[in-house]
């Protein structure tokens, strides 16, 4: 099968609360609960380990607007952590694929917009040459890839807070799957990073 011959992996990354939520129940856009933990060494090292082997970023439109609106401003910012700056430079310079039914043309450099199902796009990308295909916190994309069993590496940072409600990453009805723990780290504030590889 050609998709496997290149060795490209689909890698998804998302932050979760200890009670399994990725957003607050009342205001999904409010990510203030993430901030104290996102700047921890564990979270920064986790993200670095994910983007370094990746050559493509796969994003939903909403996340693309958020990520590409913020991260380029970190480059050259006074006092910026070198890991944050390195990620920002990677994000600007790498090939980006944005899934959108409304964007005809992407306002960002090195970006292609595609109006196709996430799993189909991921399989198309896997059939090309390159490094990992990294899905950065785009929940709708990650959920679609999990439902289609096209995720090869599942990366999570677990932050020690209960949100008490709100949307969950893992919906009922996912295909049964076995995973193996590829790496784990814990650190300040009780932040935990976990990376699982799909056993096929």
Residue 104 belongs to domain spanning: 2-198
Joined tokens for residue 12: 């998804």
* CA–CA dist 198, 182 (Å, integer): 10
Share of the chain above pLDDT 90, in %: 86
Mean pLDDT over residues 6-29, rounded?
92
pTM for the full predicted model: 0.93
Q: Are 8 and 130 in contact (CB under 8 A)?
A: yes
Q: What is the average pLDDT value for the chain, to the nearest integer?
A: 93
Joined tokens for residue 64: 């693309």
- Under the banding of pLDDT at 50, 70 and 90, the label for residue 6 is low
Q: Which residue has the tokens 């998302």?
A: 14
Query: What is the DSSP secondary structure assignment for residue 50, as one 8-state letter?
Result: H
Sheet-wide strand order for 179-186: 111-114, 95-99, 54-60, 132-136, 10-17, 153-159, 192-198, 179-186
Strands (E) across 61-165 are located at 95-99, 111-114, 132-136, 153-159
Q: Is the pLDDT of residue 110 over 60?
A: yes
CATH number of the structural domain spanning residue 147 = 3.40.430.10
- Under the banding of pLDDT at 50, 70 and 90, the label for residue 117 is very high
3-state helix, strand, coil in the chain (%, to 5): 35, 25, 40
Mean pLDDT over residues 64-85, rounded?
94
- Number of folded domains that form the chain: 1
Q: Counting runs of H as helices and runs of E as strands, what totals does the chain give?
A: 7, 8
State in Å, rounded, how far the first CA of the chain is from the last one. Answer: 14
């Amino acid at each position: 099968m050609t998709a496997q011959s290149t060795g490209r992996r689909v890698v998804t990354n998302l932050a979760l609360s200890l009670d399994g939520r990725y957003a607050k129940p009342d205001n999904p856009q409010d990510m203030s609960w993430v901030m104290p933990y996102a700047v921890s060494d564990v979270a920064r090292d986790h993200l670095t380990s994910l983007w370094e082997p990746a050559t493509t970023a796969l994003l939903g439109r909403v996340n693309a607007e958020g990520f590409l609106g913020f991260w380029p401003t970190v480059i050259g910012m006074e006092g910026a952590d070198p890991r944050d700056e390195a990620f920002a430079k990677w994000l600007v310079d790498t090939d980006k694929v944005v899934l959108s039914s409304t964007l005809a043309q992407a306002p960002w450099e090195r970006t292609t917009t595609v109006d196709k199902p996430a799993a189909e796009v991921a399989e198309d990308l896997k059939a090309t040459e390159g490094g990992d295909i990294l899905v950065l916190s785009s929940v709708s994309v990650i959920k679609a890839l999990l439902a289609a069993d096209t995720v090869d590496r599942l990366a999570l940072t677990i932050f020690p807070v209960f949100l008490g409600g709100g949307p969950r990453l893992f919906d009922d009805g996912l295909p049964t799957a076995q995973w193996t723990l590829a790496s784990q780290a814990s650190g300040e504030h009780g932040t935990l990073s976990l990376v699982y590889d799909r056993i096929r």
